[in-house]
Structure 1
Amino acid sequence: MTSNLFAKPYHYISEKQYFLVGSSIVRLAVGIHIMFTYLVYYFQRHDVWGIHSFVPADSNVHFFSLYTLNNSIVWFETIYILGILVNFLFLIGLKTNFITPINFLFVWSLYNENPFIMDGGNNILFIVLFFLMFANINEYFSVETKQDTNNKSKNIKNIFHNYAIFICLAQVCILYFFSGFFKAQGDMWQHGTALYYILNVDEFTLPSVAPYIINSPLLLFFGAYSSILMQLFFPFLVTNKYTKIITLFGSILFHLGIIFVMGLIQFGLIMIALDLLFITDKEYKKGRVIAKRTLSVIMKRSDTNVSQKTSTEI
């Protein structure tokens, strides 16, 4: 009886790999996130991470970093350029089983060389990128062609992949819950004024958008309480088949707001990708069918309208 109890879960995680579309989307988002950092700071790389950066090389904020192995400019340039190349290979999905651990090492080295430029997006990226080393992340949107493996090897890969993805999903749920939990304890969030103070900080404000929100008590109140409730109840709502999609839709809208209102592009990008990870492969395929059907109907109506207009003119 005990063997049967464990046989079913083992069969579930070893039978096949789940969330393959979502994990491939996360790979793309992580790769874009990292590439964005490399390229945006490219012309300031020496000031941010170099020998004469505003973080002294002998400071105690450093953990292990490839950049600290040698103090020469040539070494710094070599590691930086190699980091860009490795991340590009990761982004296009080439040999990810081999490339992902190397990319993790380069990214770890980059951010630990100067931890003061990191935001919440970098923190969750570290955690997710580590577990992606054990997952199949190039099944979709990849330049690499898949090769069949024997059943025993395939079962082991399935187990590693599924556990890695489930841990990532659990991490996102924990992140959302405690984010909402600690927000709910803050006076400014309880009073609905938190967004007012956030949007008055120049570093987290887009001047063209912020005034409309700051001058609207209703938007400030709605934004504060909706974010608390969405994050606090996210783990429960996203695991319910009836509330899952609407919860993910609301979360994506929330992070789009963070991107366009607060300007936190990288943080919003990685969180949206992690939201999309919760959608199963079956749901993605169903959505694709619905989208193609809808597009077909729109095209037919468009052709009909054009034909009617042409016949009327004749």
Structure 2
Amino acid sequence: MTGPAAVRAALPRLLTTLAPHQAAVVRIGVAGTWGAYLLREWPNRRVLYGDRSPWSAALNERLLADTHAFTALSWSDGRWWFEAVYLLALLSALALALGWRTRASSVLFALTVLSLQNRNVFLGDGGDNLVHLMAIYLVFTRCGRVWSLDARRRARRPGKDPSEWGEPRALADALAAMLHNCAMLVIAVQVVLVYATAGWYKVQGSRWQDGTAVFYPLKLGYFTPWPELSGLLGGSLLVTFALTYGTVVMQVGFPFSLAARRLKNVLLAVMVVEHLAIALLLGLPFFSLAMVSADAVFLPTAFLLAVRGRAAGWWAARRPERPGEPGGPVEASAGGSAEAGAAEAGAVQAGPGRASAGEPVGGPGD
């Protein structure tokens, strides 16, 4: 099937909101990572981004004149304006992580992320750059469709049936769904580019070629929160060689693994473990959390639903029963009941022939 017929066949799927669970996990992860970082740096906030920063407002103005980057902190260099923006950044991160008024909070989150990061561009690392990009992309997604306070509110107060919508509302909904799908595709492509460029740059480095690149950060005091553990790993030539070459192989091979669902899932699990190890061994928790949050765009929907089901069962088993409250399973998510979750999982496992709104970017039924 080619030409106009193929377009007509694909159009209903393109106008359906895809990968809502992956979007929710990316939303929670990115907002939670940035919020945790702001809380950790609360005592140092004025030195990092405020009126006490060595990178003064005057120097930043000169840089902004060349880059034309946005930051609300350029409107005033007073302390209380900075404090208001910083507090607003914390509140918007919390609101987005909880999924409260997601459309508004995602815009506010993106503006505050840009405002703080563009106030002092010399503080960021790869994780901050990824948060910067994801904050922009999330504005165009429907990341509050599930696992959010918005979804809980919609479940309690459902609106009109879609069949009752007028043409303008239905058209706007279809365009919003298509915009969401495009944004999720951009997020997936961004993650692929991150791994592909990192992997191919490593291939060109002599330390990565001879298998010793991992050895050096394990010997630097700045990257050794656990000196004994780092010394144990760095003292083994075989371990450092395997970690060095394994990192390169995974990063270079990940884009190609997307054609094979099972291989992609295996590599994704290994890379998540690698990021958690980086957080522990090198003391880079926020970089690792940002990477894991972005990687979530490729997580299988069936896996996310299974995790949700286990979490709901664990909560139901430990939740004290209230007098007069009926027994049985509690709601598995803010967006629907446990039965709805099971039905959705069945739709995901039905195969490529049955499209599901829960399918991730990786491919049908993935």
Relative to the length of structure 2, the TM-score reads 0.75
The runs of 4+ residues in structure 1 deviating greater than 4 Å are: 286-289
Shift of 1:288: 5.7
Partners of 1:10 and 1:129 in 2: how far apart? 28
Shift of 1:12: 2.1
SS in 2 for 1:209: helix
Shift of 1:138: 1.4
Rate the CA distance shift 1:35–1:194 in 2: closer, same or farther, 3 A: same
Instruction: Provide the residue aligned with 1:225 in structure 2.
Output: 245
Asked if 1 retains the 8 angstrom alpha-carbon contact of 2:92 and 2:108, the reply is yes
Shift of 1:286: 5.3
Q: 1:275 aligns with which of 295, 320, 328?
A: 295
1:204 aligns with 2:223: yes
SS in 1 for 2:216: helix
Instruction: Provide the residue aligned with 1:45 in structure 2.
Output: 45
The one-letter amino acid paired with 2:99 is G
Deviations 1:232-291 (A, max 9, x none): 0101113312312211111111111111111111111121122222124344335666x6
Rate the CA distance shift 1:218–1:143 in 2: closer, same or farther, 3 A: same
Deviates more, 1:42-51 or 1:177-186: 42-51
Partners of 1:64 and 1:153 in 2: how far apart? 29
Query: Which runs of 5 or more residues in structure 2 are unaligned?
Result: 315-366
Partners of 1:200 and 1:97 in 2: how far apart? 45
SS in 2 for 1:199: helix
Rate the CA distance shift 1:112–1:205 in 2: closer, same or farther, 3 A: same
Query: Which runs of 5 or more residues in structure 1 are unaligned?
Result: 296-314
The one-letter amino acid paired with 2:133 is I
The Cα RMSD (Å) is: 2.1
Instruction: Provide the residue aligned with 1:19 in structure 2.
Output: 19
Instruction: Provide the residue aligned with 2:274 in structure 1.
Output: 254
Instruction: Provide the residue aligned with 2:73 in structure 1.
Output: 67
SS in 1 for 2:181: helix
Instruction: Provide the residue aligned with 1:108 in structure 2.
Output: 114
User: Greater share of helix residues, 1 or 2?
Assistant: 1
Q: 2:124 aligns with which of 118, 128, 131?
A: 118
Asked if 2 retains the 8 angstrom alpha-carbon contact of 1:238 and 1:247, the reply is no
SS in 2 for 1:116: coil
Deviates more, 1:214-223 or 1:123-132: 123-132
Instruction: Provide the residue aligned with 2:285 in structure 1.
Output: 265
Partners of 2:19 and 2:284 in 1: how far apart? 27
Instruction: Provide the residue aligned with 2:175 in structure 1.
Output: 156
Deviations 1:50-98 (A, max 9, x none): 2221112111344432112112222121222122222221121111112
Shift of 1:45: 1.3
Relative to the length of structure 1, the TM-score reads 0.86
What is the percentage of aligned positions where both structures have the same residue? 25
Instruction: Provide the residue aligned with 1:85 in structure 2.
Output: 91
Instruction: Provide the residue aligned with 2:139 in structure 1.
Output: 133
Asked if 2 retains the 8 angstrom alpha-carbon contact of 1:19 and 1:280, the reply is no
